[in-house]
């Protein structure tokens, strides 16, 4: 028996996590699911959005499933799960399930993974006033020779690219590409930067990634500037395998890629550190549809499948994903964002039946 901590977060996050946990229980998987206080309710009852007891349970759990963040109390939960745990690799599988509502003419065969560096780049934000920067670095010039002091009033943000941070995300992406290659995928890393403009920061990321990939001669490699990558992910989404992105680029491109494969309602993710992982849909709390019982739980169910695989329950993970795929293929019980009429619980009931 394995232990899972389920944290709904806010808005539809609570609905899709509850429905997913009920599905996992009804499926008879060997799991004990705990739902400790967190977010706004914990703030009211315990004076903090992530009580120590909740942290203790997360620390001991075999798997952690999160719903969605919205306001500050649920963002504090993400801050704990992601940044305070140094969960540096954000993994977002992008896969087309036959029957899903992709806007592309032919989405068949889309099956790749976005790996987003989670701890550096422009996030978490390091910002300030231009006047402070001008005082600290009076000689700093842009590409056309202007000093910071010449801009007048304004703000700046610092983009950080460290060798250690880049090497570890590159190693992570290579390990993932190798595992996919063993399952018949191409085993190719597409590194996404804007190194033609940001030659020192993005250029460094690219150079360090290339050094790491060279140590994996069984893997193929290509580099793509972020604007070109956006175009290619829409035009040739079947041609990529593991797309390794700097933080901000990965944030944007993974929403674009998710939409191409069928929408936010079906896009799962996992965040991995060296000794830590948690899983969540990539969508937010969707205040526009919260409380109506109509949110698509697929993204959370597929995140749970990733969690099961990570916990050593690969057979259960495969069965769950296959059941989801079957419901999409049959197109009889799809949620509204996929062109159907099924509510959150109806969809889960259909997945249970397919199991």
- Which residues are known catalytic residues? 123, 194, 227, 251, 255
End-to-end alpha carbon distance in the chain: 20
- Check if the beta carbon of residue 193 is closer than 8 Å to that of residue 246: yes
In the complex with ligand ATP, the residue whose CB is nearer, 211 or 293, is 293
Beta-carbon-side half-sphere exposure of residue 130 (alpha carbons within 13 Å): 11
Please name the residue that has the structure tokens 């704990």.
80
Positive/negative CA dihedral, 125, 129, 130, 136: negative
The total number of residues written for the chain in this structure = 355
Tokens representing residue 211 in the block: 């050094």
Q: Using CA atoms, how far apart are residues 215 and 206, in angstroms rounded to an integer?
A: 15
In the complex with ligand ATP, the residue whose CB is nearer, 59 or 287, is 287
Stretch that binds ligand ATP, among 166-174, 214-222, 279-287, 322-330 (CB under 6 A): 279-287
β partners of residue 224: 192
Q: How far is the CB of 339 from ligand ATP (least distance, A)?
A: 12
Q: How far is the CB of 214 from ligand ATP (least distance, A)?
A: 38
Residue ranges in 146-185 that form contacts with ligand ATP under rule CB under 6 A: none
Q: Is 70 in the site for ligand ATP (CB under 6 A)?
A: yes
Q: Is 92 in the site for ligand ATP (CB under 6 A)?
A: no
In the complex with ligand ATP, the residue whose CB is nearer, 187 or 250, is 250
Q: Is 265 in the site for ligand ATP (CB under 6 A)?
A: yes
Stretch that binds ligand ATP, among 21-29, 186-194, 285-293, 308-316 (CB under 6 A): 285-293
- The closest of 67, 12, 65 to 34, measured between CA atoms, is 65
In the complex with ligand ATP, the residue whose CB is nearer, 7 or 12, is 12
Tell me which of 75, 198, 256, 264 binds ligand ATP, using CB under 6 A.
264
Tokens representing residue 5 in the block: 């901590």
Q: How far is the CB of 114 from ligand ATP (least distance, A)?
A: 16
CA angle at 41 for the pair 40 and 42, rounded to the nearest 5°: 90
CA angle at 294 for the pair 344 and 350, rounded to the nearest 5°: 30
Tell me which of 89, 113, 299, 308 binds ligand ATP, using CB under 6 A.
299
Q: Is 295 in the site for ligand ATP (CB under 6 A)?
A: yes
Residues near ligand ATP, by CB under 6 A: 12, 68, 70, 264-265, 283-289, 295-296, 299, 337
């Amino acid at each position: 028996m394995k232990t899972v901590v389920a944290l709904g977060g806010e808005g539809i996050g609570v609905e899709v996590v509850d429905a997913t946990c009920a599905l996992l229980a009804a499926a008879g998987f060997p799991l004990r699911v705990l739902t400790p206080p967190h977010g706004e309710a914990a703030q009211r009852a315990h004076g903090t959005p992530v009580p120590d007891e909740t942290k203790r349970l997360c620390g001991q759990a075999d798997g952690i499933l999160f719903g969605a963040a919205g306001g500050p109390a649920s963002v504090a939960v993400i801050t704990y799960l992601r940044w305070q745990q140094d969960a540096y690799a954000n993994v977002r599988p992008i896969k087309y399930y036959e029957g899903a509502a992709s806007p592309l003419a032919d989405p068949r065969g889309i099956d790749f993974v976005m790996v987003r560096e989670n701890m550096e780049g422009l996030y978490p934000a390091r910002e300030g006033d231009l006047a402070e920067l001008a005082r600290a670095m009076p000689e700093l010039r842009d590409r056309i020779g202007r000093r910071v002091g010449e801009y007048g009033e304004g703000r700046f943000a610092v983009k950080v690219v460290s060798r250690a941070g880049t090497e570890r995300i590159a190693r992570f992406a290579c390990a993932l590409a190798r595992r996919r290659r063993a399952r018949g995928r191409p085993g190719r890393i597409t590194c996404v930067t804007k190194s033609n403009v940001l030659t020192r920061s993005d250029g460094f990321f690219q150079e360090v990634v290339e050094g790491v990939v060279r140590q994996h001669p069984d893997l193929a490699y290509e580099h793509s500037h972020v604007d070109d990558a956006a175009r290619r992910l829409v035009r040739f989404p079947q041609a990529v395998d593991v797309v390794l992105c700097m933080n901000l680029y990965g944030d944007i491109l993974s929403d674009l890629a998710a939409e191409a494969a069928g929408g936010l309602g079906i896009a799962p993710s996992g965040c991995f550190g060296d000794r830590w992982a948690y899983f969540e849909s990539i969508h937010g709390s969707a205040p526009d549809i919260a409380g109506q019982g109509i949110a698509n739980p697929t993204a959370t169910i597929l995140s749970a499948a990733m969690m099961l695989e990570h916990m050593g329950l690969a057979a259960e993970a495969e069965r769950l994903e296959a059941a989801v795929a079957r419901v999409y293929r049959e197109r009889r019980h799809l949620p509204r964002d996929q062109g159907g009429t099924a509510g959150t619980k109806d969809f889960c009931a259909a997945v249970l039946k397919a199991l």
